[in-house]
Amino acid sequence: MSPSDTSTSPNSMTPGKKLEGLVAAAITPMTPDGQINLSVIHQYVDYLVREQNVKNIFVNGTTGEGLSLSIQERKQLAEEWVRQGKDKLDHVIIHVGALSLPESQDLARHAAAIGASGIAVIAPFFFKPTNKDELVAFLQKVASEAPGVPFYYYHIPPLTGVKIRVEELLDGIREQIPTFQGVKFSDTDLLDLAQCINKNGSEQFAFLYGVDEQLLGALAVGVNGAVGSTYNYLGRKTKLMLQAFAKPDLALAQKYQFLIGEFLNFVIKLGFGVAQTKAVMTFVSGIPMGPPRPPLVNASEEFIAKAKAKLDSIVWPDGD
């Protein structure tokens, strides 16, 4: 499908609605022979909305193996998520970051043309920006290709190695990037996160946290929501944690965080990454997510059995 064939108009998810709450980091379904499998995305959207109560999606990010996909595959996935999300999802955010600036700009223009509700960009991580100005200049050159689309910086230093503090980055950012809307903050540095929120307010920008096992700590410093892999299959439980925190019932919120942490702590010790996320999502949802793309390798049968037994053994406060 070319962008002009799409049945959605630009920004047609839920126009103007602020990005907050839970955002599932989309897994990219693949066929057993490693091709992207667009045919299950319709089912995937319905599963997120009906079973996980999650209505926002972040496409082609880390969990979606975006940097392991071709530009053509990334465009096809973006189009399918926008098409299938129409009238069902509130936000479809497309990650358009790439090592090559022209490729990133091409993806940004494409996301705008198909009606994505936002774009996000990771810091380039082979030749890296060495300071804030170099990073902002790169981001600005991508954002300006989609001048009507909200722009998010995707901060994930454990994977990019780019450790420029977000607090510093945000200083004056709207003058350079008028579409700047917020940060997907996938780091454990809560001091940096808290300073960002303290200086800018979560009214002006959206701050979305990306370390699912410690979301409660980020809620305490004022994030608006979270983007993460576990919201694909623990979205409903995490929403109950958000509700408990808002009530406020801190003891209940802690129970949910501890149980989510108990599962993640268990699987992290076994070796947990995108391949394992695909396996967990497959057994929880019943939707085949397929293998990861090399160099990642399939989760082992032993991992799958142990992760399933662990998840089944958890007794949640809501009695499920």
- Nearest distance in Å: CB 32, ligand SI3: 22
Nearest-CB residue for ligand SI3: 61
Closer to ligand SI3 by CB, 10 or 228: give it: 228
Whether the upstream peptide bond of residue 158 has omega within 30° of 0, thus cis, is no
- Nearest distance in Å: CB 209, ligand SI3: 8
Element (H, E) at 85: helix 71-85
Query: Which residues in this chain contact ligand SI3 in the complex, by CB under 6 A?
Result: 25, 58, 61-64, 186, 210-213, 227-230, 264
Q: Which of 75, 184, 237, 278 is catalytic?
A: 184
Closer to ligand SI3 by CB, 6 or 117: give it: 117
Closer to ligand SI3 by CB, 10 or 24: give it: 24
CB atoms within 10 A of CB 258: 12
Is the separation of the CB atoms in 73 and 31 below 8 Å?
Answer: no
d(CA 29, CA 319): 31
The annotation status of 221 as a binding-site residue, yes or no, is: no
d(CA 317, CA 17): 31
The annotation status of 227 as a binding-site residue, yes or no, is: yes
- Is 152 labeled as catalytic in the residue annotation? no
Q: DSSP string spanning 271-283?
A: --SHHHHHHHHHH
- Count of residues making up the chain: 320
- Nearest distance in Å: CB 25, ligand SI3: 3
Q: Which two tokens stand for residue 215?
A: 């979301």
Q: Which two tokens stand for residue 41?
A: 């995305």
Closer to ligand SI3 by CB, 6 or 238: give it: 238
Closer to ligand SI3 by CB, 10 or 267: give it: 267
Q: What one-letter code names the amino acid at 279?
A: A
d(CA 283, CA 273): 16
- Residue tagged 């699912």 (tokens): 212
Is the separation of the CB atoms in 20 and 225 below 8 Å?
Answer: yes
- Nearest distance in Å: CB 146, ligand SI3: 19
Q: Which two tokens stand for residue 290?
A: 């397929």
- Nearest distance in Å: CB 125, ligand SI3: 13
Q: Cα-flanking dihedrals φ and ψ of residue 36, to 5°?
A: -65, 140
Is the separation of the CB atoms in 179 and 147 below 8 Å?
Answer: yes
- Is 154 labeled as catalytic in the residue annotation? yes
d(CA 287, CA 279): 10
d(CA 216, CA 311): 20
d(CA 252, CA 112): 41
Closer to ligand SI3 by CB, 6 or 90: give it: 90
Q: Which of 154, 209, 231, 233 is catalytic?
A: 154
- Nearest distance in Å: CB 170, ligand SI3: 19
Can you say which residues are annotated as belonging to the binding site for pyruvate? 63, 227
Question: What residues act catalytically?
Answer: 154, 184
Can you say which residues are annotated as belonging to the binding site? 63, 227
